[in-house]
Amino acid sequence: MIRPILLSALSLVTTFGIGSFDRSATWAESPKIGASVNGFTLPVVGDDGEVSLTQELTEGPVVVVVLRGYPGYQCPACQRQVASFANRAKTLGQLTHRVILVYPGPADTLSAHAEEFMGQRSLPEPLKIVRDADMKMVDDWGLRWNAPRETAYPSTFIIKQDGTVAWKKVSDNHAGRAEAEEVVNELRKLAKAQ
């Protein structure tokens, strides 16, 4: 009796991809190390300002962290990742000009969900969180996660002042994303190499 139920469950997983991710991932098309990235200008969550990657790069290297945004709920792994970057803000500020956290999602509800994600906290310098309405930046960088209840692959890039990728980490699941300490170590390597 158990065997037919187990086979039915396995059939559902195989047929519908339950518990798996879309293996026709676009993240393989994300900017490569050494390649130039496309610039973007996105609105800051919680105020009227905007962040321009091109402008930020005139001041020094920039870290770009792509969160999952709002795939139907506030992602706890994204909240932990943002907290890890906020906890290392002082050190990050010594090594990079800006850390841009990108919160993607559908434009019609994105502002409200992004503000809900932030809650009452404010981010210390050099961190800024921006909204990517309708995931235009995510699409442009080849990071769209085309699966139910998904938005973007969790990704982190270190962009050199010349606009090229010095380091990147793209995760094809909710875990395995870059933590602040890992980025600090890579920024130190970049500083020594220059």
Tens of pLDDT along 35-57?
Answer: 999 999 999 998 889 999 999 99
- Please check whether residue 3 lies inside any domain of the structure: no
Q: How far apart are CA 17 and CA 98, in angstroms?
A: 38
Percentage with pLDDT > 70 across the chain: 86
Count up the domains in the chain and report the number. Answer: 1
- The answer to whether 63 and 156 have CB atoms below 8 angstroms apart is yes
Average pLDDT over residues 18-25: 39
Report the C-alpha gap between 194 and 190 in whole angstroms: 6
Residue 100 within any structural domain of the chain: yes
3-state SS, one letter per residue, for 143-188: CECCCCCCCECCEEEEECCCCEEEEEEECCCCCCCCCHHHHHHHHH
62-66/50-52 β-pairing: unpaired
Residue 80 falls inside a structural domain: yes
- Return the CATH number at 43: 3.40.30.10
Is 141 within the bounds of a domain?
yes
Domain membership flag for residue 10: no
Specify if 48 maps to a domain. Answer: yes
Residues 142/30, Cβ–Cβ less than 8 Å: yes
Residues of the domain holding 159: 22-193
pTM of structure: 0.85
Point out the least confidently predicted range of 2-11, 55-64, 171-180: 2-11
